[in-house]
Amino acid sequence: MNWGMIAYQVPLVIYPDTYNGKPLMYAVLASQKNRVAIYLIDIYMDQQARQEFETEYRTAGQKYNVGKSCIRFKKPDDLPLTLIGNAIAAYEVDEFVKRVKQLRAAPIQLFP
């Protein structure tokens, strides 16, 4: 648990150089007022990965209800669980940390 949510994160012992001194978030499950949200940080680190995820999500026939960094849903049946699982499994911890370091070293690029 972190930030009041179920959090899968990279421990500080592996990656201590976070901007806020807290473990690096990887995937988070959050209960909100009228819905539940899943934060999948890895799909928001890469424009192509995000677009592929969205295409596969829509192809699965599910309503694509997203925020800037989360997927919102009311019940688990609203999610393509295999796709969510694949997104979470997309990076090994060392690969994820390497990608985060690359992005932090690069100039800021905002998604359209």
CA gap 69, 96 in Å, rounded: 16
Backbone phi and psi for residue 38, each to the nearest 5 degrees, phi listed first: -115, 125
Identify the CATH number of the domain defined by range 6-97.
Answer: 3.90.1150
Q: What is the reported pLDDT for 111? A: 54
Q: Give per-residue pLDDT as tens, 49-68.
A: 889 999 999 999 888 898 87
Report whether 93 contacts 10 (CB < 8 A).
yes
| Predicted confidence (pLDDT) at residue 78 exceeds the cutoff of 70 | yes
Q: What is the reported pLDDT for 96? A: 92
Q: Give per-residue pLDDT as tens, 8-25.
A: 999 999 999 888 899 999
Q: Let me know how many helices (H) and strands (E) the chain has, helices first.
A: 3, 4
Indicate the angle between helix axes 81-88 and 47-59, nearest 10 degrees: 160
CB atoms closer than 10 angstroms to residue 83: 17
Report whether 26 contacts 1 (CB < 8 A).
no
Domain boundaries, the chain: 6-97
Average pLDDT over residues 85-107: 89
Q: Give per-residue pLDDT as tens, 26-44.
A: 999 999 888 899 999 888 8
